[in-house]
Amino acid sequence: MIGSRLFIDSGVWISYFLKTSEESRRIIDSTENKLFTSVLSLHEVNRTLGRKGLSRTEMSEATRIIMDTSTLTLVDEQTALNSVDHCLHRKLYTVDAIIYESSLQNGCTLVTGDTDFKGLKDVKIIE
C-alpha cells in the first residue's frame, strides 16, 4: 500500500491517536502515500477521543495532525446523492456510505478497520 492514494476512515485515525494499531501508524506515517480524510471524520475522531478522556488540547492536536497530513474532502450534493445507493444496496450507515463514496470519487483505496466494508471495491480492512 506504499505509494498509494489512501482515504483514511475515522477508526483508523482513532487507532492511530490511541496507539492501538501498528498498521495504522505505518500507513499514516509513511511519506509515500497521499492521504485523504472526510471532513466528517473530524467530528467522529474528536467525539471518540473526547469520550476516551483526552483533553481539548489533545483533541486540537489530533485535528491539526489530520489536517496537516491529509487532504480534507467536503461533502457536496453529488457525494450525498451517490452515497444513498451504498446505504440501500450495501447496507452501510449514512456516514460510512458518504465516506466510501468520497473515497471512490477521489480515486482512493479506503483504509478502515470496519468490517461493514468487507467485500467492497477499493477497500483495505486493517486490524
The pLDDT of residue 85 is: 96
Number of domains within the chain: 1
CATH number at residue 113: 3.40.50.1010
**pLDDT of 112 higher than 70:** yes
- Whether 71 shows a pLDDT value over 80: the answer reads yes
Is-contact 48 11, C-beta < 8 A? no
User: Dihedrals φ, ψ of 73, to 5°?
Assistant: -110, 140
- At 1 the pLDDT is 55
Burial 41-57 (b: 16+ CB within 10 A, else e): bbebbbebbeeeebeee
Query: Quick one: pLDDT at residue 3?
Result: 66
Q: Do 84 and 48 touch, CB atoms closer than 8 A?
A: no
pLDDT on residue 2: 56
3-state secondary structure of 85: helix
Predicted confidence (pLDDT) at residue 9 exceeds the cutoff of 60:
yes
Domain that holds residue 80: 5-125
Give the per-residue pLDDT at 67: 98
3-state secondary structure of 105: helix
Q: What is the pLDDT of residues 78-88, one digit of tens each?
A: 999 999 999 99
Q: Label residue 127 by pLDDT band (50, 70, 90).
A: confident
The model's pTM is 0.94
Query: 23-70, pLDDT tens digit by residue?
Result: 999 999 999 999 999 999 999 999 999 999 999 999 999 999 999 999
> Span 115-123, mean pLDDT?
95
Distance CA 100, CA 4 (A): 16
